[in-house]
Structure 1
Amino acid sequence: MATRNSSSTFSVIGTDISIRGNIDASADLHIDGSVEGDIACAALVQGEGSTITGAVMAETARLAGTVNGSITARELVILKSARIDGDVHYDALTIEQGAQVEGRFAPRANERGNGKAAAASAGVKDPANSDEPKLAIAQ
């Protein structure tokens, strides 16, 4: 994954744009249109009316539209308008009440094996030094 910095740029895929193919962006990405393919980027913001059909991999993701595919993100926010059909892998997760997810939730630290080294390498920062990822339910 690309490292974010203060001079980071972003790209916008507007509502009138439909893309077929994978997207690999080192910058932040805002999607309001339709994407059929896998997406890898530093940070993803998905608009309410957008559709992604494919896997999503991002350091941070804020999803408000429809995703048909797996999602892997260090920090993930699923808004109430989101409709997700696929497995969700995360380090820190926030879900607004009303969001719909058909799939399994799995902390990324558990995929790499249990232990403090796995949690540290996954970027999990817990004041209690717990190996458990953070989960927040927004209301």
Structure 2
Amino acid sequence: MDDKFPATSTGGRSHLGEGSRITGELYFPGTVELPGYVKGRVDATAIVIETTGEVEGDLHAASVAIKGHFHGQVTGGSVKLHSSATVIGDITYESLSIESGAVVEGKCNRQPFPKE
């Protein structure tokens, strides 16, 4: 991820299994890996949407990496869109990296990420 926004904290790692389907407001104190389907809001220190992952809703994390499909609004410190990513929605970021091949439809706005 990024040294300025570390991917792990005292919260450790959480992993939702491939094929899982979750709806609601989710909070993870460390890093969460999402290879399944999530609809709702996800708050964590770091969020990784895996290539098989699909998320609809809001993401809020110091570090966000999208490899799969996302539709909604991202608020992040360091945001990285991998070549396999498809993002439809708005991205608010402090630093943004988009690999060649990523599909992005929406607005990208740069602003400082609040350190809580």
Q: TM-score, normalised by structure 1?
A: 0.73
Identity between Structure 1 and Structure 2 (%): 25
- Mapping for residues 1-139 of structure 1, pairs under 5 Å: 5=9, 7-109=10-112
Structure 2 unmatched ranges of 5 or more = 1-7
Structure 1 unmatched ranges of 5 or more = 110-120, 124-139
Kindly indicate whether the alpha-carbon contact (under 8 Å) linking 2:60 and 2:74 is maintained by their aligned counterparts in 1.
Answer: yes
Shift of 1:122: 5.1
Q: Which has the higher helix share?
A: 1
Provide the C-alpha distance between the structure 2 equivalents of 1:26 and 1:69, rounded to a whole number of angstroms. Answer: 22
Instruction: Kindly report structure 1 stretches of 4+ aligned residues shifted beyond 6 Å.
Output: none
Provide the C-alpha distance between the structure 1 equivalents of 2:114 and 2:49, rounded to a whole number of angstroms. Answer: 24
Residues paired across the two proteins, number: 108
SS in 2 for 1:73: strand
State which structure, 1 or 2, has the greater radius of gyration over its C-alpha atoms.
1
Q: Deviations over 1:90-126 (max 9, x none)?
A: 00111100101110010024xxxxxxxxxxx757xxx
Higher relative contact order (CA 8 A, sep 6+): 2
